[in-house]
Structure 1
Amino acid sequence: MIVLGVILLVIGFIAGISVLWSIGLALVVIGLILWVLGAVGHEVGGRKHYW
């Protein structure tokens, strides 16, 4: 999710498409939150990690 967000950020920045920039930023933030929650041991969606 984080990688996809970064890819969308780059494409949105290069192409000047603000929608891709916004979606990419949201995916990066959500991915980082899920990663941190999984890393500290909290279950995310009933799993210890989200992948």
Structure 2
Amino acid sequence: MITWIIVFAVLALIFAVLGFGGIASGFASIAKIIFYIFLVVLIITLISSAF
């Protein structure tokens, strides 16, 4: 899942440099959503492994 975050973040940076603002913000939004899903899964895993 972290790989997808990195891929979308890199794509967002590339499109931002090239001037495609709408596409870059779309990729950045997808990267943020995947990052938050990853954080939730990580927290649930840490809590469940603690008990």
Q: Which category of TM-score, normalised to the shorter sequence, fits these structures?
A: 0.5 to 0.7
TM-score when scaled to structure 1? 0.64
Where does the alignment leave 5 or more consecutive residues of structure 2 unmatched?
46-51
Where in structure 2 are the equivalents of 1:1-51 lying within 5 Å?
1-41=4-44
Runs of 4+ residues over 4 Å off in structure 1: none
TM-score when scaled to structure 2? 0.64
Equivalent-residue separation in structure 1 for 2:23 and 2:11 (angstroms)? 6
Where does the alignment leave 5 or more consecutive residues of structure 1 unmatched?
43-51
* Count of matched residue positions in the alignment of Structure 1 and Structure 2: 42
Percent identity between the two aligned chains: 14
Considering only CA atoms, is the larger Rg found in Structure 1 or Structure 2?
2
| Higher-helix-fraction structure | 2
Equivalent-residue separation in structure 2 for 1:23 and 1:12 (angstroms)? 10
